């Protein structure tokens, strides 16, 4: 009876630690704060070393559940407050998603009882975590949200991202938290290892793999701040189109960007002559304009909508980018889930997918070299390896990242800040500055090392006018992708499993 009560208490403590870990991610120095909290998690999991694997898995699952319930709670806002879904069904949906994500944590945590007696247990646990994080971002179209990597933007291991990517940041975070737990038993070696690795990553972060390209460009990012309830309201659609049109033509700039679906209407149904009017403005003022709207494509004889970025450049054929990585339930309907979409009442929830090899936007500049910008729309900013692959395979050298998004679905939650950190990690990985044009915030400009240079307040109707220095070159991560860190992690796990079978 005493053992059972202790087990329940331990599960409660692990759930609470998961909650604290998610809360720490939102703090100014979250990347540092998460490390000692993770050490406490490993300590509590280590206490159950003698328990069966199933109970160990339950312990890791409970920790992950606490982490994700808090980390993705903004989905409740999108489903209940905005989508009109029943409160109980919305809570259940968040719980089920969090449970699915917690399974990856549960499997990764099994490395503790299996390999705790090894002298390199921390490395094996880190390798296990990297493998599970990779799968979390790949299986079932992937949902790598709330990883430990983006928190390292404000942590000790950001410097490794341009070389080995975000998964390497995750690896070092897990390893360091394990070594911190070992200080009591071998304080000298663990302390030296931790200090040495942090010093190394801080030093390597001073290396610049990309360099400034040409003169800075003038940029205008327009934040409309239209509530999601108005996005597809017939009366409000005209107001949104009028607002963005007036803001676009108000002042010329080298590059003017509006958010995702700023024109919330199929392109063919927009007011007659609107695109031609904006194209004329672009040509007359030497301004490049990037619009968020709803496109249409012919797929096997059937017209389908796309989430589109339409680029207008001086005296050029319009550019278009159709979103490639779609959001399950929001932009495509998984098999058997039509009932969920009907309950959620999502308009335009079955988009066509754009190609993976779409070219970057060409920003035309008078008497200067053109700039090429890689476009991502909202959720696509989560997938670092996909963006790195696009940059690596692009026929034109990419100089700038642009993310267009609409986070009005998630109200006043932590979702905008979470996506901002993901954008920061993408800039850090690629060594390229980034522009974020959002409907409700956080509209911002990021440096090539992921720092926020400028931003405007959330939930305000405003414009960010600034100068942005573009960059050229490729980081090692863009060249190699996740191959080095995944190979290293897999080799560690294979070695650990062979050693486990022998002994």
| pLDDT reading at 346 higher than 60 | no
**Structural domains counted in the chain:** 2
Residues 308 and 200 grouped into a single domain: no
Residues 203 and 242 grouped into a single domain: no
Residues 19 and 81 grouped into a single domain: yes
Q: How far apart are CA 429 and CA 481, in angstroms?
A: 10
Tell me what pLDDT residue 108 has. 94
Tell me what pLDDT residue 2 has. 45
Tell me what pLDDT residue 5 has. 46
Give the tens place of pLDDT for each residue, 61-76.
999 999 999 999 998 9
Residues 430 and 297 grouped into a single domain: yes
| pLDDT reading at 456 higher than 70 | yes
Tell me what pLDDT residue 300 has. 73
Q: Nearest to residue 261, comparing CAs of 363, 333, 339, 346?
A: 346
- Which member of 150, 179, 247, 260 is catalytic? 260
Residues 221 and 296 grouped into a single domain: yes
Residues 121 and 191 grouped into a single domain: yes
Residues 238 and 194 grouped into a single domain: no
Tell me what pLDDT residue 455 has. 96
Residues 137 and 244 grouped into a single domain: no
Alpha carbon distances (Å) from 89 to 42, 80, 333: 33, 9, 18
- Which member of 109, 169, 176, 378 is catalytic? 378
Tell me what pLDDT residue 13 has. 95
pTM of the model: 0.92
Element at 69 (helix H, strand E): helix 53-71
- Contact partners, residue 503, CB within 8 Å, separation at least 6: none
Residues 457 and 489 grouped into a single domain: no
Q: Which has the higher per-residue pLDDT, 293 or 184?
A: 293
| Residue ranges making up the domain that contains 107 | 2-208+483-502
- Which member of 169, 231, 247, 323 is catalytic? 323
Provide the β-strand partners of residue 181: none
| Mean local confidence (pLDDT), 419-438 | 97
Residues 264 and 174 grouped into a single domain: no
3-state secondary structure of 118: coil
CA-angle at 151, arms to 398 and 441, nearest 5°: 65
CA-angle at 116, arms to 114 and 121, nearest 5°: 105
Residues 25 and 127 grouped into a single domain: yes
| pLDDT reading at 344 higher than 80 | no
Q: Check if 323 is active-site.
A: yes
Give the tens place of pLDDT for each residue, 358-404.
999 999 998 788 999 999 999 899 999 999 999 999 999 999 999 99
| Mean local confidence (pLDDT), 236-253 | 94
Q: What CATH number corresponds to the domain at position 426?
A: 3.60.110.10
Q: Nearest to residue 142, comparing CAs of 404, 338, 392, 379?
A: 379
| pLDDT reading at 157 higher than 60 | yes
Residues 220 and 203 grouped into a single domain: no
């Amino acid at each position: 009876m005493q053992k059972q009560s202790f087990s329940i208490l331990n599960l409660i403590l692990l759930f609470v630690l998961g909650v604290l870990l998610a809360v720490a991610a939102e703090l100014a120095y979250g990347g540092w704060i998460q490390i000692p909290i993770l050490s406490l998690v490993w300590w509590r999991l280590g206490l159950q070393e003698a328990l069966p694997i199933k109970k160990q898995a339950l312990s890791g699952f409970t920790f992950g559940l606490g982490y994700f319930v808090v980390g993705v709670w903004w989905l409740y806002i999108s489903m209940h407050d905005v989508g009109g879904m029943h409160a109980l069904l919305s809570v259940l949906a968040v719980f089920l998603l969090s449970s699915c994500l917690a399974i990856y944590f549960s499997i990764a945590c099994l490395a503790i009882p299996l390999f705790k007696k090894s002298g390199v247990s921390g490395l094996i646990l880190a390798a296990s975590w990297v493998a599970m994080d990779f799968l979390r971002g790949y299986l079932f179209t992937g949902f790598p949200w709330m990883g430990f990597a983006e928190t390292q933007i404000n942590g000790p291991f950001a410097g490794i991202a341009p070389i080995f990517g975000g998964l390497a940041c995750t690896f070092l975070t897990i390893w360091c938290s394990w070594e911190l737990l070992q200080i009591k038993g071998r304080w000298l070696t663990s302390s030296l290892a931790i200090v040495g690795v942090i010093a190394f990553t801080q030093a390597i972060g001073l290396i610049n793999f990309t360099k400034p390209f040409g003169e800075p460009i003038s940029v205008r990012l327009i934040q409309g701040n239209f509530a999601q309830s108005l996005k597809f309201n017939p009366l409000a659609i005209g107001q949104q189109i009028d607002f963005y049109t007036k803001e676009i033509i108000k002042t010329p700039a080298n590059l003017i960007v509006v958010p995702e679906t700023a024109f919330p209407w199929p392109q063919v149904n927009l007011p007659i002559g609107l695109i031609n009017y904006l194209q004329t403005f672009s040509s007359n003022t030497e301004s490049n304009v990037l619009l968020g709207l709803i496109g249409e494509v012919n797929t096997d004889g059937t017209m389908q909508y796309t989430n589109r970025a339409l680029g207008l450049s001086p005296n050029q054929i319009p550019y278009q980018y159709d979103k490639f990585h779609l959001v399950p339930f929001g932009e495509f309907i998984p098999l058997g889930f039509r009932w969920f979409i009907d309950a959620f009442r999502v308009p335009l929830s079955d988009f066509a997918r754009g190609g993976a090899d779409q070219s970057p936007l060409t920003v035309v500049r008078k008497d200067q070299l053109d700039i090429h910008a890689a476009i991502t729309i909202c959720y696509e900013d989560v997938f670092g390896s996909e963006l790195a692959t696009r940059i690596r395979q692009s026929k034109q050298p990419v100089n700038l990242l642009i993310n267009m998004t609409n986070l009005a679905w998630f109200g006043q939650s932590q979702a905008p800040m979470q996506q901002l950190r993901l954008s920061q990690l993408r800039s850090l990985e690629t060594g390229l500055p980034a522009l974020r044009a959002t409907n409700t915030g956080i509209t911002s400009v990021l440096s090539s090392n992921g720092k926020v240079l400028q931003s405007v307040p959330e939930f305000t109707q405003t414009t960010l006018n600034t100068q942005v220095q573009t960059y050229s070159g490729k980081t090692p991560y863009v060249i190699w992708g996740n191959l080095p860190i995944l190979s290293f992690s897999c080799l560690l796990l294979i070695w650990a499993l062979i050693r486990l079978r022998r002994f």
